[in-house]
């Protein structure tokens, strides 16, 4: 019998993993919060369920009973993790027969390090609300007995449909300058290959940072994208003067460099896109798309 992945919050990163597993004969069941997204989940080869939803509990229970592997991409809120809020007892009961559980967290749990380096052993001192919620969610999942849990702390995700090209082409891109600011990033295909490698080599309790080899200032990425397109360098704007959404501005509240040695030494991963330069070069000819997390 083939393995079955139950993917809660089957969005951008989860679909990249599914695209690797389904051709290998896996059954993939993906959940979405909106009935309007069911066809989008199914279009990528997964069986689609709405979760949470009234009247759908039997289908979710059946999916959990069939699952050999779980992937959790749903974001927590102040109220906690939405999957555990509904299914904690059921997941705890299923834990002894599950082969692998992956929780997608964020490097935001490390907080601001003023540009310094962090690894998986670094203290978790999140300074944003989202980072604090993620830390609490990690702890909540780790508290489920006998769960073969693996935590993946993701840096900024990019890939097809998630890059700077559309804004650069439209002339709306800006190089926002904040002295000392650097971000770590990870291409979605490298997320997928790390998750797949972990499934092959499970190590319950492990924590992995998912990022590339080159933490870089955001303005350098924008400038490189423009150069790849043969377009003028977008104008520079000081951070204090930049018009940004509160969400976008929150990303600039912290700066750190994230080490990724463990995915290489333990899982044998060789990054397909070790820096943003290779990642953007692979994306430049792809059409702009709309994507969700």
Listed in sequence order, the residues at least 6 apart from 291 whose beta carbon sits closer than 8 Å to its beta carbon are 12, 159, 160, 161, 162
Q: What is the pLDDT of residue 250?
A: 83
Distance CA 256, CA 276 (A): 17
SS (H, E, C) 27-68: EEEEEECCHHHHHHHHHCCCEEEECCCCCCHHHHHHHHHHCC
Distance CA 12, CA 9 (A): 9
- For the segment 79-116, what is each residue's pLDDT rounded down to a tens digit? 999 999 999 999 999 999 999 999 999 999 999 999 99
Residue 287 has pLDDT above 60, yes or no: no
Which of 189, 8, 156 lies closest to 82, judged by CA? 8
- For the segment 196-234, what is each residue's pLDDT rounded down to a tens digit? 999 999 999 999 999 999 999 999 999 999 999 999 999
- Rounded to two decimals, what is the model's pTM? 0.94
Q: What is the pLDDT of residue 244?
A: 87
β-pairing, 185-187 vs 156-158, is parallel
What is the number of residues in the chain?
293
Residue 291 has pLDDT above 80, yes or no: no
Listed in sequence order, the residues at least 6 apart from 98 whose beta carbon sits closer than 8 Å to its beta carbon are 67, 68, 69, 70, 147, 148
For residue 130, give the H/E element and its range. helix 129-142
> Token pair 């919050």 is at which residue?
9
Distance CA 156, CA 184 (A): 6
Instruction: Let me know: does 41 contact 48? Beta carbons within 8 Å.
Output: yes
Residues forming beta bridges with residue 102, ordered by sequence position: 71, 150
Backbone angles phi, psi at 257, to 5 degrees: -115, 130
The DSSP secondary-structure symbol of 232 reads: P
- For the segment 222-269, what is each residue's pLDDT rounded down to a tens digit? 999 999 999 999 999 999 999 888 888 888 989 999 999 999 999 999
Report in angstroms the alpha-carbon separations of 181 from 56, 112, 219.
Answer: 45, 11, 9
Give 293 or 163, the one with higher predicted confidence.
Answer: 163
- For the segment 150-203, what is each residue's pLDDT rounded down to a tens digit? 999 999 999 998 889 999 999 999 999 999 999 999 999 999 999 999 999 999
Sketch out the chain's domains with CATH numbers: 4-161+186-213+259-273 (3.40.50.720)
Longest dimension (CA), the chain: 58
């Amino acid at each position: 019998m083939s393995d079955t992945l139950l993917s809660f919050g089957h969005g951008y990163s989860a679909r990249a993993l599914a695209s690797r597993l389904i051709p290998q004969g896996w059954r993939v069941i993906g959940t979405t919060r909106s009935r309007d997204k069911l066809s989008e989940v199914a279009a990528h080869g997964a069986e689609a369920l709405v979760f949470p939803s009234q009247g759908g509990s039997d289908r979710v229970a059946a999916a959990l009973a069939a699952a050999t592997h779980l992937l959790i991409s749903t974001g927590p809120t102040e109220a906690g993790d939405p999957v555990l809020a509904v299914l904690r007892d059921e997941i705890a009961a299923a834990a002894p027969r599950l082969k692998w559980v992956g929780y997608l967290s964020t490097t935001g749990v490390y907080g601001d390090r003023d540009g310094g380096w962090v690894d998986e052993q670094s203290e978790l001192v999140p300074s944003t609300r989202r980072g604090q919620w993620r830390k609490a969610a990690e702890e909540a999942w780790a508290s489920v007995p006998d769960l073969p849990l693996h935590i993946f702390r993701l840096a900024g995700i990019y890939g097809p449909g998630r890059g700077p090209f559309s804004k650069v082409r439209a002339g709306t891109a800006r190089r926002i300058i904040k002295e000392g600011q650097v971000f770590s990033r990870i291409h979605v295909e490298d997320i997928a290959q790390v998750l797949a490698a972990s499934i092959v080599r499970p190590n319950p309790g492990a924590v992995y940072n998912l990022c590339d080899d080159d933490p870089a200032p955001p303005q350098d990425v924008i400038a490189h994208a423009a150069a790849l397109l043969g377009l003028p360098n977008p104008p520079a704007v000081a951070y204090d003067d930049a018009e940004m959404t509160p969400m976008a501005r929150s990303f600039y509240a912290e700066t750190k460099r994230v080490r990724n040695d463990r995915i290489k030494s333990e899982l044998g991963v060789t990054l397909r896109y070790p820096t943003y330069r290779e990642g953007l070069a692979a994306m430049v000819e792809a059409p702009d798309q709309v994507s969700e997390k």
